[in-house]
Chain A
C-alpha cells in the first residue's frame, strides 16, 4: 500500500522490540469481542488511476462555472483566481504545516497571518482582525456572541436583508443563550447589537449612518456583515461599525460547492480581549530580530477551557493564505479596479435584463448583484435555465430572482442569458 512504508519484516522486528506477538496484542484494552477480526464491509484498496477515475466520474456529472453562463452569487461568488495563488498554497511548507504553535519553525505561516490581519483591517477600517473564522455565517454569529459579552445585554436586532443562512446559523448559535432576535431596525437599552449586511442579501447597498446613530443612542454595538468582500474596493470602509464580520471567499478561494471558504472578523481596538479565534502578533526573538507569534491566547479554549471566548480551534489558515496572495497581486489599484469591473458587469446585466419583456429590476442601488421580478415563478425559471445549461441565479420567494455578475461575466454570457430568458418566460 503506497502510503504505508512498513514492510512485513519491519513490523515483525518492531513488534519483537515492543515485546508482543501481533498488532492485536496492543489492543489489549479493547473490550472482549469488540476488536474487528476482518475489515469492515467496504471496498478494498485501489491504485491511483482507479481512484482518480472513480472520483473524476463524479466530478464530471456536475455543471460547473466554466461550462455555463453563470449568474449565481448570494454569498458565494464566481471570481477568477490567478495561477500564482494555487501554486503558492500548494507549496508543501504551507499546505502540510500545522498551526504555528512552534513559532521558531513557523514564521512563514505567522508572517502571512500578520499580513492577512493587516489587509482585513485596512479593507474594513477596523483596528484589529483575527487570523480567520470558518465562514461568513459563523463569523457573524461569533460577532453577535461577542457583542453580548461586551455589552452584557441579551437581545439582538437584525436588519432585514441578512443572508438567510447567516440568520439560521445565528439562531442556532443563540439557542442556548438568553434574549431574543428581532428583525427590524429598532433598538433600546437591552439591545446588545444591531446586525446589518451591506450590500444586503438582495444586493441593496445600505447607508450605515442612521444605524450608527441608533447604536450611539442605545449603547448597542453595530455589527456589519459583508459577504462580498470585493465590494470594499468600491464602497467606503464600514468605519461606522464596532465589529465587521463576513465572508472573504471572493478573493483567492474557489466556490467548491460551499466550502472551504474564509470567514473574517475585525473590530475596534477596545474589544481585543473579547475576540474569538487566533491572533498573530509581532515581537522579537532572542537575538532581537523581528518575529511573529500567536498571542493573547488566554482568550482561547486550550487555556481558558470553560471560560474561553469561543470553542474555535482549527480555522481556515490555508484559505487566509490564498486570500493574502491574491490580494497582494491585486494591490491597491488592482483591487479597486476589480471592484469597478464587477460593478460595471452588473450594470450591463441590469440594463440587459430590464429590456427583457416582463422583467423588472427591483434595486435602487447595488454593487454586483441585484433582485429582479419575473412574470413567472422564479424557481421554475431557474430549473428551466439549468436544463439549457445556464446557472441563472437564485430563486427567491415567488417570482423574485437574485442575479450576480462578476469580472468573469462576458457580454456573450449576458446575451445568452437574456435570449434564454425570453424563451423560458
Chain B
C-alpha cells in the first residue's frame, strides 16, 4: 500500500501539493508515481519566476525506460525549485514527500486547491480503482 500522507492534497496525475502557513505551496510527485516510473535518472525543472496555470507541464521526470510530464496542480508563480534534484534525482524515489519536493509556488486562487485536488482518502480510493 502506497504511502499517502494525510496532510497533503493530490491530483489524478499523481502530483501532491502542500499549502504552507505563508500562503505558498510545495509540489512534488507521489510515492505511487515514483514507484511506477522506477529509478529516476533525470529531472527537468522550470525556472524560478515561471508563471503556471492549472494543468501546465512544468517538469519532466525520466527513468531509464520512461519519461513523464509533471503538471501544475494549481495556478501561480514558481518561487523556488529544488536544485538538489539535478544532481540527485534519486531523492524523489527515496523521499518523494520530503527531500524529493520539486517546486514552491504562489497560490493564485486557494479555491483551486479545494475544488481541483483530492484529499488523502480520496486519492487512496482513486488508486484502488486504478489497480
**Chain A positions near chain B (C-beta within 8 angstroms):** 273, 297-298, 303-304, 307
Are B65 and A303 within 8 A (Cβ)? yes
Given the complex of chains A and B, what is the CA–CA distance between A298 and B38 in angstroms?
13
> Which of the residues B42, B44, B66 comes within 8 Å of A303, measured between beta carbons?
B66
Residues of A contacting B66 in the complex (Cβ-Cβ under 8 angstroms)? 298, 303
Residues of A contacting B42 in the complex (Cβ-Cβ under 8 angstroms)? 273, 298
The contact size tier of chain B is: under 10
Residues of A contacting B65 in the complex (Cβ-Cβ under 8 angstroms)? 297-298, 303
Residue among B41, B62, B63, B66 with max Cβ neighbours from chain A (10 Å): B62
B54 at the interface (CB under 8 A from A): no
Given the complex of chains A and B, what is the CA–CA distance between A246 and B42 in angstroms?
29
B108 at the interface (CB under 8 A from A): no
For the complex formed, measure the closest distance between the CB of B85 and the CB atoms of chain A, giving whole angstroms: 15
For the complex formed, measure the closest distance between the CB of A5 and the CB atoms of chain B, giving whole angstroms: 36
Residues of B contacting A273 in the complex (Cβ-Cβ under 8 angstroms)? 42, 44
CB closest residue in chain A, given B66: A303
| Per-position binary interface string of chain B over residues 65-105, scored 1 when its CB falls under 8 Å from any chain A CB and 0 otherwise | 11100000000000000000000000000000000000000
CB closest residue in chain A, given B44: A273
| Per-position binary interface string of chain B over residues 41-64, scored 1 when its CB falls under 8 Å from any chain A CB and 0 otherwise | 110100000000000000000111
Residues of B contacting A303 in the complex (Cβ-Cβ under 8 angstroms)? 65-67
- A–B pairs, 17, beta carbons within 8 Å: A273-B42, A273-B44, A297-B64, A297-B65, A298-B41, A298-B42, A298-B62, A298-B63, A298-B64, A298-B65, A298-B66, A298-B67, A303-B65, A303-B66, A303-B67, A304-B67, A307-B67
Given the complex of chains A and B, what is the CA–CA distance between A246 and B62 in angstroms?
30
Given the complex of chains A and B, what is the CA–CA distance between A303 and B67 in angstroms?
7
Residues of A contacting B67 in the complex (Cβ-Cβ under 8 angstroms)? 298, 303-304, 307
Beyond A297-B64, A298-B63, A303-B66, 4 additional contacts (C-beta under 8 Å) are A273-B42, A298-B42, A298-B62, A298-B65
How many inter-chain contacts with C-beta < 8 Å in the A-B complex? 17
Given the complex of chains A and B, what is the CA–CA distance between A303 and B44 in angstroms?
16
Given the complex of chains A and B, what is the CA–CA distance between A286 and B130 in angstroms?
34
Given the complex of chains A and B, what is the CA–CA distance between A307 and B67 in angstroms?
10
For the complex formed, measure the closest distance between the CB of A342 and the CB atoms of chain B, giving whole angstroms: 42
Given the complex of chains A and B, what is the CA–CA distance between A295 and B5 in angstroms?
35
Given the complex of chains A and B, what is the CA–CA distance between A298 and B41 in angstroms?
10
Given the complex of chains A and B, what is the CA–CA distance between A307 and B69 in angstroms?
11
Residues of A contacting B62 in the complex (Cβ-Cβ under 8 angstroms)? 298
Given the complex of chains A and B, what is the CA–CA distance between A298 and B42 in angstroms?
10
CB closest residue in chain A, given B65: A303
CB closest residue in chain B, given A272: B42
The list of the 7 closest CB pairs from A to B, nearest first, reads A298-B67, A298-B62, A304-B67, A303-B67, A303-B66, A303-B65, A273-B42
Given the complex of chains A and B, what is the CA–CA distance between A70 and B123 in angstroms?
74
Residues of B contacting A307 in the complex (Cβ-Cβ under 8 angstroms)? 67
For the complex formed, measure the closest distance between the CB of A8 and the CB atoms of chain B, giving whole angstroms: 45
Residues of A contacting B41 in the complex (Cβ-Cβ under 8 angstroms)? 298
Given the complex of chains A and B, what is the CA–CA distance between A275 and B67 in angstroms?
16
For the complex formed, measure the closest distance between the CB of B86 and the CB atoms of chain A, giving whole angstroms: 12
CB closest residue in chain A, given B62: A298
Given the complex of chains A and B, what is the CA–CA distance between A273 and B64 in angstroms?
13
CB closest residue in chain B, given A273: B42
For the complex formed, measure the closest distance between the CB of A310 and the CB atoms of chain B, giving whole angstroms: 15
Given the complex of chains A and B, what is the CA–CA distance between A40 and B65 in angstroms?
43
For the complex formed, measure the closest distance between the CB of B117 and the CB atoms of chain A, giving whole angstroms: 26
CB closest residue in chain B, given A307: B67
For the complex formed, measure the closest distance between the CB of B82 and the CB atoms of chain A, giving whole angstroms: 18
Given the complex of chains A and B, what is the CA–CA distance between A307 and B42 in angstroms?
16
For the complex formed, measure the closest distance between the CB of B126 and the CB atoms of chain A, giving whole angstroms: 26
Given the complex of chains A and B, what is the CA–CA distance between A304 and B63 in angstroms?
12
Given the complex of chains A and B, what is the CA–CA distance between A25 and B42 in angstroms?
50
CB closest residue in chain A, given B67: A298
For the complex formed, measure the closest distance between the CB of A303 and the CB atoms of chain B, giving whole angstroms: 6
Given the complex of chains A and B, what is the CA–CA distance between A303 and B64 in angstroms?
10
For the complex formed, measure the closest distance between the CB of A103 and the CB atoms of chain B, giving whole angstroms: 12
Given the complex of chains A and B, what is the CA–CA distance between A273 and B67 in angstroms?
12
| Per-position binary interface string of chain B over residues 21-48, scored 1 when its CB falls under 8 Å from any chain A CB and 0 otherwise | 0000000000000000000011010000
For the complex formed, measure the closest distance between the CB of A299 and the CB atoms of chain B, giving whole angstroms: 9
CB closest residue in chain A, given B63: A298
Given the complex of chains A and B, what is the CA–CA distance between A297 and B65 in angstroms?
7
Given the complex of chains A and B, what is the CA–CA distance between A314 and B37 in angstroms?
27
For the complex formed, measure the closest distance between the CB of A278 and the CB atoms of chain B, giving whole angstroms: 14
CB closest residue in chain B, given A302: B65
